[in-house]
Amino acid sequence: MNAFLQETALLALDLLIRTIPMMVAGVFAAELIMAFNATARISRVSRPLTIWSNLHHECGISFMMVFISPKAANAMLAKYHRDGIITRREMVVAALMNSFPNVMMHWRYLLPVYVPLLGLTGLVYFAILVVVGIIKTVIVMVAGRWMLPVPATPEEETNTPPPRPGWKEGVQKAMKTSATSLRHILIISVPTIIIVAVFISLGFFDTVADVMQGFGACFPIPAAGFAIIAAQFGSFIAGASVASTLLVAGTLSPQEIILTLLVGNILSSVTRAIRWYGTSYAAIFGPRTGAVIQGLSTGLRVVVMIAIVAALSFVW
C-alpha cells in the first residue's frame, strides 16, 4: 500500500510539474496581451482563419500560442471565456481548431524517429497525419462559420486605441488580474491531475489499451501488423522500431506499414485522449466542457482517419 501511494504521489507530482506551469504561463500571457492592448496586432497572422470561422480575434492569439504551448493556448481560451470575451460554443470551436498547430509541431519528435527508421515510408505516414489535421480543421472552421454569429468589429479597430501602459505597470496589472483565473483553474486542475495519476497507477489505461488492441481485427491489416500496433500502445518510438524491422525483413510492404501505423494510431488515440483529457482539457476547461472538447476532437479525428484508411485500402 505504501509503495502504491508513493508511486502515485511521484507520478502526480510529475504530471503537475509538466502541466501547471504551462497553464500559468498561458493565463499570464493572455493578461499581458490584454494589459498592453496588443490583441489585434498579435492575432493579425491568423485573422483570415478566425474571421472565416466567425471567431473573435482573441481566438487567433490562442491559435498562434499553440505553436509554443498547447496547454498555455487553451488556458488563454478558458480565460477569455470566463471574462465574457467569447462564448462557450466559441471556446469549443477555437479549442478544436487549436489542435492543428499542435499536429504540425509533431514534426519535432516524429520526423527524427520515423524518417531514419522508415525512410520515405515514414515521411508519407507523417504527411498523412498532417492531411488528417488539415481536414479536421477545415471541418471545424465550416462548423464555426455555420454555428457562430459574426462577431462585432473589435472596438480598437473602430476607435482610437487606448494608450499602452508602461512595462512595469502592465506587468503588475497582468499579475493582479491573473490571480482570479489561476485560482479557478488550479481548483479544478490539481484534483483532476491527481485522479489521473491514481488511475494510471491502478493500471486503468493499460486495461483500456488491451481492449483497444482487440479491435485491430476489424481493420484490413496483415497479421504481422499486430506487433506494430501492440508496440504503438507503449510509445510511437517502439511502434516505429518494430515497423522498421518488418519493413527491412520484407515481411510487410511500405503500404502495409503505413496502413498498420494508421490503424495503431486510431486505436491508441483512445487511451491518449483519456490521459490528455484528465491532464489538459478537464483541468483547463472543467470536467463537462473538457469532455465535450476531447470527445469532439478525438471523434472527429478518428472518423477522418478511418475514412483515409478505407480509401487507402481500396487504392492499394
Cβ atoms within 10 Å of 268's Cβ, excluding its own: 22
Pair 243, 117: CB distance under 8 Å: yes
pLDDT tens-digit series, residues 97-133: 988 877 776 676 788 888 888 999 999 999 999 999 9
Residue 257 to residue 270: CA distance in whole angstroms: 21
C-alpha cell recorded at residue 163:
494608450
Q: Is a pLDDT exceeding 50 seen at residue 53?
A: yes
pLDDT tens-digit series, residues 254-279: 999 999 999 999 988 877 777 766 66
Cα-atom radius of gyration of the chain, to the nearest Å?
21
Cβ atoms within 10 Å of 292's Cβ, excluding its own: 17
Query: What phi, psi does 282 have (nearest 5°)?
Result: -65, -40
Mean of pLDDT values over 54-63: 88
- Helix axis angle, 167-201 to 2-35, nearest 10°: 150
pTM over 0.85: no
Q: Name the nearest CA neighbour of 96 among 232, 292, 238.
A: 292
Pair 94, 59: CB distance under 8 Å: yes
Residue 198, amino acid:
V
Q: Is a pLDDT exceeding 70 seen at residue 163?
A: no
SS3 category, 252: coil
Mean of pLDDT values over 183-205: 77
Residue 157 to residue 180: CA distance in whole angstroms: 28
Pair 247, 38: CB distance under 8 Å: no
Mean of pLDDT values over 178-202: 77
Q: How far is CA 62 from CA 66, 90, 145, 271, 306, in A?
A: 6, 12, 18, 26, 29
Residue 255 to residue 232: CA distance in whole angstroms: 18
Residue 142 to residue 171: CA distance in whole angstroms: 38
